[in-house]
């Protein structure tokens, strides 16, 4: 078979097609590396948690007002489906409105902070100080200003979620490679053109990474505000449920919240994949925390 023999002048003759065909290919895919298995794993984990939970509750005979079994929770979920859906819808809207404001303020502020060292140096310390204030402590003030209702929840969702967006967008723009900026500047581009053609696209991966964080904290914000100062929403529902010792209902509301959070996360990941495939080169990217 080895026909590629050295000839006296040092030239090595080429192998034939048969030689190429004879090269074997065999690679075994590990069971856990199969695509379908990978996709199923998260679901198996979730179901597993519920099974362990159920068993634990039954085996240790835990009281329902301490920790209800998943079956009881799902039963309650079905029983109270109408009020749960109504309140979940309220919370979703509240969160999305606050989140929308957070995106606008975060992007505009991030662009301003990221593209001007003067603005960055002047405003950043104040922003950090502001972000260090626990937002829960602000809710009573918001209630004094706006009364009990949707507005404090929207504002709390906004306050919690704009900061990661702002910091990430600012970082994305501030870390634009000087070469890329020079390409545009050498063409006589205006500052605005440099931001729209290089700064913003460059900041997109950072922006989407921050959306995933901001999305979840926006939910935290609206729900916390609802438990303190609202008469509708999942937070309010949970408060009412626990005050009436309807612990399974409170847990059902928690699960609905989790599902909503995951749903929004999935949406932002889907948009991210479409918009920033270039950054992850078609594979799954790394998430930068804020």
Partner 1 sequence: MAGFVELDRVSLRYNEDESALALYKTSFSVEKGEFVAVVGPSGCGKSTLMKVVTGLWPPTAGSVTVAGKKVSGPLSIVGMAFQNSSLLPWRTTLSNVVLPLEIVEPYASRMAKQREQFEAKARDFLALVGLQGCENQYPWQLSGGMQQRTQLCRALIHEPSLLMLDEPFGALDMFTREELWLALQELWLTRRPTVILVTHDLREAAFLADRVLVMSARPGRIILDRKVPTPRPRALDSTYAAEAVELVHELREHISAARAQAA
Interaction site with partner 1 (CB under 8 A): 177, 179-180, 182-189, 193, 197-198, 201-202, 204, 276, 278-279, 281
CB of 118: closest distance to partner 1 in angstroms?
A: 19
How far is the C-alpha of 211 from the C-alpha of 209, rounded, in Å?
Answer: 5
Q: Which is nearer to partner 1, 5 or 286 (CB)?
A: 286
Min dist CB 184 to partner 1, Å, is 7
Would you say 93 or 180 has its CB closer to partner 1? 180
CB of 97 to partner 1, least distance (A): 30
Give the residue with the Cβ less far from partner 1, 187 or 267.
187
Distance CA 267, CA 212 (A): 9
Of 19 and 182, which CB lies nearer to partner 1 in the complex structure?
182
Q: Work out how close the CB of 179 gets to partner 1 at its nearest, in angstroms, rounded to a whole number.
A: 4
Q: How far is the CB of 13 from partner 1 (least distance, A)?
A: 23
* Shortest Å, Cβ 5 to partner 1: 28
Nearest 10 degrees: CA dihedral of 182, 184, 185, 187?
A: 120
Is the Cβ of residue 211 or residue 228 nearer to partner 1 in the bound state?
211
- Closest contact distance (angstroms) between CB of 191 and partner 1 is 12
Q: Which is nearer to partner 1, 161 or 210 (CB)?
A: 210
What is the rounded (10 degree) CA torsion for 211, 77, 45, 267? -20
Question: Which positions ≥6 away from 71 have C-beta within 8 Å?
Answer: 54
Residues 6+ apart with CB under 8 A from 136: 224, 228
Least distance CB 180 / partner 1 (angstroms): 6
Output DSSP code: residue 198: I
Closest to partner 1 by CB, 165 or 176: 176
The nearer residue to partner 1, 138 or 273, going by C-beta atoms, is: 273
Q: Is the Cβ–Cβ distance between 99 and 161 less than 8 Å?
A: yes
Radius of gyration of the chain (CA): 27
Q: How many alpha carbons fall within 13 Å on the CB side of residue 106?
A: 31
* Cβ-defined contacts of 36-42 (< 8 Å, 24+): none
Question: What gap in Å lies between CA 160 and CA 215, rounded to an integer?
Answer: 10
Helices (H) and strands (E) in the chain, counts: 13, 0
In the chain, what's the furthest Cα-to-Cα distance? Answer: 96
């Amino acid at each position: 078979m080895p026909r590629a023999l050295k000839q006296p002048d040092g030239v090595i003759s080429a192998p034939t097609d048969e030689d190429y065909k004879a090269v074997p290919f065999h690679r075994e895919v590990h069971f856990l590396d199969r695509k379908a298995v990978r996709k199923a794993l998260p679901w198996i984990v979730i179901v597993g948690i519920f099974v362990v939970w159920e068993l634990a509750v039954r085996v240790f005979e835990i009281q329902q007002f301490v920790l209800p079994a998943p079956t009881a929770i799902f039963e309650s979920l079905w029983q109270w489906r109408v009020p749960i859906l109504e309140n979940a819808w309220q919370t979703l809207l509240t969160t999305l409105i606050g989140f929308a404001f957070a995106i606008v303020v975060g992007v505009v502020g991030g662009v301003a902070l990221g593209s001007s060292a003067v603005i960055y140096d002047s405003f950043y310390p104040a922003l950090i100080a502001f972000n260090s204030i626990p937002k829960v402590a602000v809710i009573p003030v918001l209630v004094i200003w706006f009364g009990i209702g949707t507005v404090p929840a929207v504002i709390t969702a906004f306050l919690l979620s704009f900061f990661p967006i702002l910091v990430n967008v600012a970082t994305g723009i501030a870390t634009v490679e000087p070469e890329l900026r020079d390409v545009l500047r050498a063409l006589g581009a205006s500052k605005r053109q440099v931001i729209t053609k290089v700064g913003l696209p460059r900041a997109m991966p950072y922006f989407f990474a921050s959306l995933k964080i901001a999305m979840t904290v926006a939910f935290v914000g609206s729900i916390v505000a609802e438990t303190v100062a609202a008469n509708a929403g999942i937070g309010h529902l949970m408060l009412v449920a626990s005050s009436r010792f309807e612990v399974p209902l409170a847990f059902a509301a928690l699960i609905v919240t989790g599902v909503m959070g995951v749903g929004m996360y999935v949406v932002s990941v889907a948009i991210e994949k479409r918009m920033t495939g270039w950054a992850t080169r078609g594979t799954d990217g790394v998430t930068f925390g804020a």
